[in-house]
Structure 1
Amino acid sequence: MEPVRLSKRMAELGLCSRREADEYIARGWVTVDGVVVDVLGSKVLPEQKIELRRQAQRAQSQRVTVLLNKPVGYVSGQAEQGYQPAVVLIRPENHWAGDASGIRFAREHLGNLAPAGRLDIDSVGLLVLTQDGRVAKALIGEESGVEKEYLVRVSGRLGPEGLALLNHGLSLDGQPLKPAKVQWQNADQLRFVLQEGKKRQIRRMCELVGLRVTGLKRIRIGRIALGDLPQGKWRYLGADERF
């Protein structure tokens, strides 16, 4: 088999992101078959054993992931059209008193804190921001299959055929969507469970079957539920929690 870049292989193995891999390699924190490799661009064979040294493991353990109950009016990523990014809400005064992680807020937790997935400006609920490339890859990497669950308030009429299409059979941007799990939660609210996250996907899916979304709330990502986290508040992902 052909050799591949060490940083790419590290990301494929879920050791870290490619950006983090380059940092660890440059610092001499990576071994291949027990030998330190500190040259960027180095290549390895798929069967070679890649390990992080203690310094890299320590650096990873200090990276945090934050769970925010995003309100309406904030964008997930970069500021746009006068709207603020959700990361501005990660302040000590918004830290949820019910956070059981045991992690104390530190200013360095705000460095390189980026959203792992989008939640549009009109939507509310669970938004993940992380410093950890492993978390980002798990949630938004090309091979991610982590479920995301939403409660979606709608207006309009939806027959059995439309509900069947929401579950499987729709396409967006010329690409067929993965099967979803969509069912009625109550008279005007649907529950969606998706394994992908195209831009404004649920709103566009609903439009295709004659519905208009009047409210959208994300309540779960993988095994992590929004739970009792109040709107506008945030907490840390605990060491024992996994998506």
Structure 2
Amino acid sequence: MEPVRLSKRMAELGLCSRREADEYIAKGWVRVDGVVVDVLGSKVLPTQRIELQRQAQAAQAQRVTILINKPVGYVSGQAEKGYEPAVVLIKPDNLWAGDKSGLRFSRDHLQGLAPAGRLDIDSVGLLVLTQDGRVAKTLIGEDSDVEKEYLVRVTGRLPPDGLALLNHGLSLDGERLKPARVEWQNNDQLRFILKEGKKRQIRRMCEQVGLRVVGLKRIRIGRITLGELPQGKWRYLRSDERF
């Protein structure tokens, strides 16, 4: 049984992200088998017990996750090609009146806030930004299998085997795609449920079967739905909500 870096093991256990783990270790907020470990790069065996001290738990409790109904024309992450990032929408006057988190907006909530998954500039709907490494790992970690659901308006004619190919049978960038769930919602709209998120995946999948996407909206990530959140507005993830 090989020892592994403590920060890596903490991330594997879902205690926090590796970046957060290094921060907690350096501050002496981590115990291994009851003993404080404060040396970065320390290694542990998979069988050893790892605990976060109160200070680390308090720091995690203060980290926020924000849900935005992203409009067209905003990028998910860093500003690019003259387009603004969705984070600029997070300001007090854009907070949805229906927010029931009990949290009050603070400038601190913008520090270290990063998108947990992409939504391209031409797409709308649910976008998650978080300060919490646990949330990011759940949604975009290598072993994440959280479902993302989309309503996709298309034009073109689908060949007889097109729907079957969309469900399972296509490849992108030389890699076979994971099975998806794709069905007609109405005459010109498909419902996609994916467990992965390659760049412009749905648009590229549709192109392979002769369809062109003219509208794309993400309506659900895991157990969290877009619900009644208006376009351009945002709300906090409540403490009782889980992806």
Return the TM-score normalized by structure 2.
1.00
Residue 23 (structure 2) pairs with residue 23 (structure 1): yes
**What secondary structure is seen at the aligned counterpart in 1 of 2:227?**
coil
Query: Do the aligned residues in 1 keep the contact of 2:126 with 2:218 (CA within 8 Å)?
Result: yes
The one-letter code sitting in structure 2 at the alignment partner of 1:143 is: D
Aligned length: 243
Report what 1:47 is aligned to. 47
Report what 1:232 is aligned to. 232
**What secondary structure is seen at the aligned counterpart in 1 of 2:198?**
coil
For structure 2, the residue ranges without an aligned partner over 5 or more in a row are none
The one-letter code sitting in structure 2 at the alignment partner of 1:179 is: P
Report what 1:12 is aligned to. 12
CA deviation digits over 1:36-93, x for unaligned, max 9?
Answer: 0000000000000000000000000000000000000000001000100000000001
RMSD over equivalenced CA pairs, Å: 0.4
Query: Do the aligned residues in 1 keep the contact of 2:69 with 2:234 (CA within 8 Å)?
Result: yes
Partners in 2 of 1:147 and 1:102 — Cα distance?
A: 27
Query: Superposition pairs for residues 1-243 of structure 1, below 5 Å?
Result: 1-243=1-243
Partners in 1 of 2:154 and 2:51 — Cα distance?
A: 49
**Greater Cα offset, 213-222 or 159-168:** 159-168
The alpha carbon displacement at 1:188 in A equals: 0.3
The alpha carbon displacement at 1:28 in A equals: 0.2
Partners in 2 of 1:129 and 1:30 — Cα distance?
A: 26
Partners in 1 of 2:101 and 2:161 — Cα distance?
A: 45
The one-letter code sitting in structure 1 at the alignment partner of 2:119 is: L
The one-letter code sitting in structure 2 at the alignment partner of 1:237 is: L
**What secondary structure is seen at the aligned counterpart in 2 of 1:160?**
coil
The alpha carbon displacement at 1:200 in A equals: 0.2
The one-letter code sitting in structure 1 at the alignment partner of 2:182 is: V
Return the TM-score normalized by structure 1.
1.00
The alpha carbon displacement at 1:104 in A equals: 1.0
Runs of 4+ in 1 over 3 A off after TM superposition: none
The alpha carbon displacement at 1:160 in A equals: 3.4
The alpha carbon displacement at 1:159 in A equals: 3.1
